[in-house]
């Protein structure tokens, strides 16, 4: 690839010299006004690139000139001018500014309808990439400018281009940084699944076979624990426990030690399947390696024990967490409350709820619904209503239809139809229409009171309103 800028004609050289003189010698506010008045016709992209080349040691000035030219339409920017600005910023380690500029380049120069996406090699690559490569040495740029371009494509959801650029770089013996590699694997895994993520991993980190000259591509960057955690997360989302063993074997082969997040992901997979012996084994392995558990690992194992209704083990872990001076989160309390509700231990659940409130946490509406349902099953609907009122005073909490339905059913069961009617009116005021469950609750309540007339009236109303089971 030619590492040069287009040659300038004498008249272009005069324009460039004039602009550079104005940019360097005049103060900021006057500089821009005078520049625009002298160069009303603006600049060609070749002129613009040469101007940036000559002020490349002043990244702030170069970026200001680029932004000013875009704002006042002084240059119809193309890959050459974008590449020149990106190189100036990259060589001075202005990563955020360079990334933002490359994102703008991607959006304006390489829209999603761009052709040739399936063409392999440098000729089928985006123009901004080709131009960055051709002008790289002229600006004495930094290698991470290509990483930034990959990240720019990822941030605008253009996985195809990001993958294509990385493949071209690898074919030339250039590896993206570990951060860029992990970001690409993560994005591909989320969009296309773990198999696609593994393919990218192999393309980046597996050594290329030696060519006819006996020389292969040497790896300069090795996968780290973040790489493997990214792959494990992709497998976890798909419920693929078996292949996680392959990842652990790969970690060992490259000498990469797992961290607490690695164990949390692995334990979560076993907990979801109710395989608590395996999850507990990982917990013990983690302790044996001197890896201290964090809030995520505690929450993961506590959640697992709650799901299989082993509340003694869950409470034991909770006490261990407090003794370790690790602050519980709302998730910690929610899982424990759910677990106690499942085994019918409402009092323990309410004690945790009180502790949760003292610490300033509130429950998710789904947890509120579970707690209310468990309380109503044990004839504690009035107490459940007080809990709902407490949560409703919390900013951002909105009760669900289920919250109302379960309490109405509970209150009717306990004979407090009057309170249930007030709750039903409130429910209607929040936009929840009467359902089969609400009608059934009131008919049950009136039947218990011996008021058959109201029961029959509600039956007729259900027919008129077209309310049936499951509606």
How far apart are alpha carbons 9 and 354 in whole angstroms? 79
* pLDDT for the residue numbered 470: 53
* Neighbour-count burial of 172, counting CB atoms closer than 10 A to its CB (0-12 exposed, 13-18 middle, 19+ buried): exposed
pLDDT by residue (tens digit) across 279-305? 999 999 999 999 999 999 999 999 999
Q: Which residues are bridge partners to 43 per DSSP?
A: 75
CA dihedral 46, 50, 55, 56 (to 10 degrees): 90
Per DSSP, the three-state class of 71 is helix
End-to-end CA distance of the chain: 68
What tokens were used for 39? 């160069």
How far apart are alpha carbons 12 and 294 in whole angstroms? 63
What tokens were used for 199? 């393919």
Per-residue pLDDT of the chain (471 residues; tens, 9 = 90+): 344 788 889 999 999 999 999 998 887 777 888 988 888 889 999 999 999 999 999 999 999 999 999 999 999 999 999 999 999 999 999 999 999 999 999 999 987 644 444 434 445 789 999 999 999 999 999 999 999 999 999 999 999 999 999 999 988 888 899 999 999 999 999 999 999 999 999 999 986 655 544 444 556 789 999 999 999 999 999 999 888 989 999 999 999 999 999 999 999 999 999 999 999 999 999 999 999 999 999 999 999 999 999 999 999 999 999 999 999 999 999 999 999 999 999 999 999 999 999 999 999 999 999 999 999 999 999 999 999 999 999 888 999 999 999 999 999 999 999 999 999 999 999 999 888 999 999 999 999 999 999 999 998 888 888 887 655
What is the gyration radius of the CA atoms in the chain, in angstroms? 32
* Residue 36 near residue 74, CB atoms below 8 Å: yes
Angle between helices 295-307 and 311-323 (to 10 degrees): 160
Helix H or strand E encompassing 438: helix 436-449
Q: How far is CA 145 from CA 90, 138, 139, in A?
A: 6, 14, 12
Per DSSP, the three-state class of 75 is strand
What tokens were used for 471? 């509606």
Q: How far is CA 112 from CA 45, 127, 161, in A?
A: 24, 14, 10
How far apart are alpha carbons 316 and 311 in whole angstroms? 8
How far apart are alpha carbons 428 and 392 in whole angstroms? 16
b/e burial code for range 55-74 (CB count within 10 A of at least 16 → b): bbebbebbbbbbebbbeeeb
Q: How far is CA 11 from CA 14, 16, 422, in A?
A: 5, 9, 85
What is the pTM (predicted TM-score) of this model?
0.83
* Residue 89 near residue 59, CB atoms below 8 Å: yes
Per DSSP, the three-state class of 166 is helix
* pLDDT for the residue numbered 209: 59
Per DSSP, the three-state class of 43 is strand
pLDDT by residue (tens digit) across 202-248? 999 986 655 544 444 556 789 999 999 999 999 999 999 888 989 99
Domains of the chain: 1-174 (1.25.40), 258-362 (1.25.40.10), 363-471 (1.25.40.10)
How far apart are alpha carbons 125 and 149 in whole angstroms? 12
Alpha helices in 111-237 (DSSP H): 127-135, 144-155, 159-171, 178-192, 194-205, 225-237
Per DSSP, the three-state class of 361 is coil
Question: What is the number of H-type helices and E-type strands within the chain?
Answer: 25, 0
Return all residues near 418 (Cβ < 8 A) that are at least 6 apart.
none
How far apart are alpha carbons 194 and 109 in whole angstroms? 31
Neighbours of 219 (CB within 10 A): 16
How far apart are alpha carbons 156 and 111 in whole angstroms? 10
């Amino acid at each position: 690839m030619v590492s040069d800028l287009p040659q300038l004609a004498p008249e272009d050289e005069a324009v460039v010299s004039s602009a550079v003189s104005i940019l360097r010698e005049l103060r900021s506010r006057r500089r821009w006004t005078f520049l625009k008045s002298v160069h009303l016709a603006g600049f060609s992209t070749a002129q613009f690139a040469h101007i940036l080349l000559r002020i490349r040691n002043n990244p702030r000035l170069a970026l200001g000139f680029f932004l000013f030219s875009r704002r006042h339409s002084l240059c119809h920017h193309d890959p050459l001018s974008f590449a020149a600005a990106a190189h100036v910023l990259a060589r001075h380690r202005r990563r955020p500014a360079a990334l933002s500029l490359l994102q703008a380049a991607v959006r304006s120069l390489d829209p999603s309808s761009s052709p040739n996406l399936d063409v392999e090699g440098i000729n089928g690559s985006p123009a901004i990439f080709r131009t960055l490569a051709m002008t790289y040495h002229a600006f004495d740029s930094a290698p991470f400018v290509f990483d930034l371009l990959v990240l720019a494509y990822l941030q605008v959801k253009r996985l195809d281009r990001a993958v294509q650029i990385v493949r071209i770089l690898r074919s030339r013996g250039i590896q993206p940084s570990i951060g860029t590699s992990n970001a690409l694997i993560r994005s591909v895994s989320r969009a296309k699944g773990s198999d696609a993520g593994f393919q990218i991993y192999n393309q980046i980190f597996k050594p290329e076979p030696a060519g006819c000259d006996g020389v292969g591509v040497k790896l300069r960057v090795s996968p780290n624990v973040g790489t493997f955690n990214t792959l494990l997360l992709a497998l976890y989302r798909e419920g693929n426990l078996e292949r996680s063993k392959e990842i652990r074997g790969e970690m060992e082969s490259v000498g990469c030690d797992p961290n607490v997040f690695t164990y949390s992901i692995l334990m979560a997979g076993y907990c979801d399947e109710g395989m608590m012996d395996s999850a507990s084994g990982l917990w013990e392995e983690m302790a044996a390696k001197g890896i201290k558990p964090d809030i995520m690992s505690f929450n993961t194992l506590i959640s697992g024990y709650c799901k299989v209704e082993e509340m003694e083990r869950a409470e034991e872990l909770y006490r261990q967490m407090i003794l370790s001076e690790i602050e519980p989160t709302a998730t910690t309390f929610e899982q424990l409350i759910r677990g106690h509700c499942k085994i019918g231990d409402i009092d323990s659940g309410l004690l945790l709820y009180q502790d949760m409130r003292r610490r300033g946490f509130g429950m998710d509406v789904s947890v509120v619904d579970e707690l209310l349902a468990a309380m109503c099953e044990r004839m504690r609907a009035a107490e459940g209503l007080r809990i709902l009122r407490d949560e409703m005073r919390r900013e951002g909490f909105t009760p669900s239809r289920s919250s109302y339905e379960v309490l109405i059913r509970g209150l009717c069961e306990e004979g407090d139809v009057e309170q249930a009617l007030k709750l039903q009116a409130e429910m209607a005021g929040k936009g929840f229409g009467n359902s089969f469950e609400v009608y059934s609750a009131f008919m049950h309540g009136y039947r218990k009171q011996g008021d058959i007339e109201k029961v029959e009236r509600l039956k007729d109303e259900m027919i008129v309103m077209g309310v049936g089971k499951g509606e």
